[in-house]
Amino acid sequence: MRKTLRLALGAAVLLAVSGYAVATNYTLWINGRSNSATVGNHADFRYWGPATTAAGVNKKSVNWDGYNSIANTNGRVRDALDCYCTGNNWCYIAAHSAGNLQIGYALALYGTSTRSIKTPTPNSAGQCSNAGGGTQAGWNIKWVRVAGGAGGGSELANAGDWALSEPLVSDLKTSTARALYNHNLTQGKIFYLYAGARGTLYSGLLPGQDDEAIAYHSSGGISGNSGGGYCNPSDWWCNDLTLGTAAAEGGRAKWTNHTVAFRDDGEAFNHYNANNWAGIVGRMRTDVVNSAQ
């Protein structure tokens, strides 16, 4: 017993002297529009639901305001990526709605930039201190999962169905969202997409299948300068949104490294998580829990 204890203590001393740091995995949740959680507080899960709900290893809520433009708020996302996804640490990313634009923007514009390696202990502003002078290119990200992704924008923003005074709504217009950054530049990170289809009559402005806020052309990662109508295979009146990375029926390709992991053939999931891990977020959360370990 004493020999075992001495060996354990000796190993601990050796690790301390060598400066070796144990790798830790984190799961970062990037919110969409209208977030009431405290910006910079990575423990505040009010946007998503009860913080006690399983949502991947070492889960953190990135918390940007969900109101201002992507360009003016993306620094909050980059701060979190710096905190938890540098050095020996790695991240799983889960995003909802406009959170798709946030992580896509960060990777396309800053994914090869020089980042200071941080100690994962953020201050009240959600920023972490340098771990000791080291740097790296971009972030350590295993994969990105997106529920109801607004990477391709929403026709509801085009039509003014959301408050036009919100700067974010301008970014959510289909032509603006698609031109905001090069969606093909993911720095090799795979985006697994979850497309909900429980639309309603008032979402008639959205072409093809939709989750009440986002149409399949956006949540399914379909490329191009504007949206189009895409549906489930059971619907004969528009082209199918295909699973995986294959082009949609009709030949329109998906963005590079974007793959449809879930298509709501049963039309059971809407866009809204209702602050309770609901809707298409809930469907994605199941896969995050099983994969983010």
CB 147 within 8 A of CB 211: no
**Averaged pLDDT score across all residues of the chain:** 92
Q: Is 70 exceeded by the pLDDT of residue 13?
A: no
Distance CA 155, CA 215 (A): 8
Q: Is the pLDDT of residue 17 over 50?
A: no
Is residue 284 a contact partner of residue 53, using CB atoms and an 8 Å limit?
A: no
pLDDT single digits (tens) 108-141 = 999 999 999 999 999 999 999 999 889 999 999 9
Where is pLDDT greater, at 12 or 226?
226
- The torsion region of residue 287 among left (phi > 0), alpha (psi -120 to 50) and beta comes to alpha
pLDDT cut 70: percent of the chain above it: 92
* pLDDT above 80 (res 261): yes
Query: Considering all CA atoms of the chain, what is the largest pairwise distance in Å, rounded to the nearest integer?
Result: 75
pLDDT of residue 12: 41
Q: What is the mean pLDDT of residues 18-41?
A: 87
Dist. CA 29–CA 111, nearest whole Å: 18
Q: pLDDT tens, 46-89?
A: 999 999 999 999 999 999 999 999 999 999 999 999 999 999 99
Chain centroid offset of residue 122 CA: 20
Neighbours of 285 (CB within 10 A): 25
